[in-house]
């Protein structure tokens, strides 16, 4: 797996949801997001991008503090404001710059790709300044066929 640097991810008209969810609620949240997009008369122009800010253990299991970002074909900010949707925001522009990226293909575990990216950053004394973003390239039935770009913003300053 090749790691590239100085990569950018730019998305426009992004529907964003951030909240704490468990694994079951994550599936339900994705269905809710898809229903909202349809209700708004919009279309996703790329599969969702996700990032996790942390996890916390609860009696019912782990809760993941995560953000789901879906670039759309149009501005839906007025619909979000009108419906007063908790956890939802509209981002006219999402820009991740100067990122290190690894292209993961399903032949190996995604955890191995993540470890390889973190090791690359550590060995080169780079300073990560964002969470790890998961850019889904495809959404297959079989995880062995999954293709995801994993990106993390790196501090461009050399100190």
Q: Which CATH number is 51's domain given?
A: 3.30.70
Residue 3 phi, psi (nearest 5): -110, 130
Residue 16 phi, psi (nearest 5): -120, 135
- Domain shared by 21 and 66, yes or no: yes
Both tokens assigned to 46: 């790329």
- Domain shared by 20 and 82, yes or no: yes
More confident residue, 157 or 69: 69
- Indicate if the pLDDT at residue 158 is higher than 80: no
What is residue 137's predicted lDDT score, i.e. its pLDDT?
A: 87
pLDDT (average), residues 63-78: 96
What's the pTM? 0.90
Boundary residue ending a domain (51, 71, 94):
94
pLDDT (average), residues 15-38: 93
The number of distinct structural domains making up the chain is 2
What is residue 149's predicted lDDT score, i.e. its pLDDT?
A: 95
What is residue 139's predicted lDDT score, i.e. its pLDDT?
A: 73
| pLDDT interval class at 30 (50, 70, 90) | very high
Range of the domain at 150: 3-9+96-154
**pLDDT tens column, 34-60:** 999 999 999 999 889 999 999 998 888
DSSP structure string for 91-155: EEEEEEEEEEEEEEETTS-HHHHHHHHHHHHHHTT--EEEEEEEEES---SSGGG-EEEEEEEE-
Alpha carbons within 13 A on the beta-carbon side of 2: 3
Give the DSSP letter of residue 72.
Answer: B
Answer yes or no: is 159 within a domain: no
What is the C-alpha separation between 45 and 133, in angstroms, rounded?
17
- Domain shared by 60 and 123, yes or no: no
């Amino acid at each position: 797996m090749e790691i590239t640097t100085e990569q950018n991810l730019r998305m426009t008209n992004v529907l964003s949801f951030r909240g704490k969810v468990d694994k079951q609620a994550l599936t339900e949240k994705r269905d809710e997001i898809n229903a909202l997009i349809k209700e708004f008369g919009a279309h996703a122009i790329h599969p969702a991008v996700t990032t996790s800010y942390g996890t916390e253990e609860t009696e019912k299991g782990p809760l993941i503090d995560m953000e789901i970002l879906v670039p759309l074909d149009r501005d839906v900010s007025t619909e979000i404001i009108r419906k007063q949707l908790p956890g939802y925001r509209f981002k006219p522009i999402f820009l991740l710059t100067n990122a290190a990226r690894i292209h993961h293909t399903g032949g190996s575990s995604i955890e191995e790709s993540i470890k390889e990216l973190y090791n690359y950053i550590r060995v080169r004394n780079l300073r990560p300044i964002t969470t790890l973003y998961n850019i889904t390239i495809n959404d297959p039935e079989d995880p062995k066929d999954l293709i995801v770009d994993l990106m993390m913003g790196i501090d461009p300053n050399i100190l």
